Amino acid sequence: MSRHAIDPRIAAAVCGAVLAAGLGGLLGGLPATPADGGPGPGRSAAAGSPARTSVAASVAAAVPARAASVRVAYPAGRGGGVRQQILRMVNAERARHGCRALRASARLNRLAQDYSGEMAAGGFFGHTDPAGRGPWDRARALGVRNLGGENIAMGQPTPQAVMAAWMGSPGHRANILDCRYRSLGVGVSYAASGGPWWTQDFGF
């Protein structure tokens, strides 16, 4: 099976973060931890490129996907409301930990939404797409220069469920509570055949 195909028990290798078991789904997170303090690696190590991060190893983990088989189809047009819910929950968590609120970014929203849609359409899950592009490759293609980190998830049916999953995983929690970040983009793609696929893109 391709490393990009969804397997209900195997998550692909990513750079700088362990794919952790979510609350009813799969998770993946790439934190911004470059050795030079800059905006993150050019590619994930899963794409076979050198990683310019302080955590150099790629880690693969077999994880249960208790709700990966959940099949939920939502009406079109709910993305905006979902984005606002997640932004509010992210900012509530950040306020509790002394970090300033993130602002919604139209460009990061597009980056995140495009990638959630790509994962849903392609039936894969991971930070690296089947063409070998990582988050920073996709960001550059859209003219986004301030990407700092990315969280993804699959199978959690609601914004509350995916936020609980991300906050329960150290790497994803670290992205959410990184006080260096200033902006956030959120993407979600619903399909009758699987998902939802969630993406958070954080900006400096």
CB neighbours of 110 closer than 8 A, spacing ≥ 6? 142, 185
Q: Determine the average pLDDT of the residues in 104-132.
A: 96
The three-state secondary structure class of 200 is: strand
Question: 């793609």: which residue's tokens?
Answer: 189
What rounded mean pLDDT belongs to the chain? Answer: 71
Q: Determine the average pLDDT of the residues in 48-68.
A: 25
In this prediction, residue 79 carries a pLDDT of 56
In this prediction, residue 193 carries a pLDDT of 76
CB neighbours of 77 closer than 8 A, spacing ≥ 6? none
Question: Among 126, 138, 139, 123, which Cα is nearest to 192's?
Answer: 123
Query: Distance between CA atoms of 17 and 38, rounded to whole angstroms?
Result: 18
**Could you read off the pLDDT of 147-193 as tens digits, one per residue?**
999 999 999 999 999 999 999 999 999 999 999 999 999 999 998 77
pLDDT of 56 > 70? The answer is no
Name the token pair of 5.
């195909």
In this prediction, residue 72 carries a pLDDT of 32
pLDDT of 31 > 50? The answer is yes
pLDDT band at 46 (very low <50, low <70, confident <90, very high): very low
Decide which of 35 and 105 is more confident: 105
| CA terminus-to-terminus distance, the chain | 36
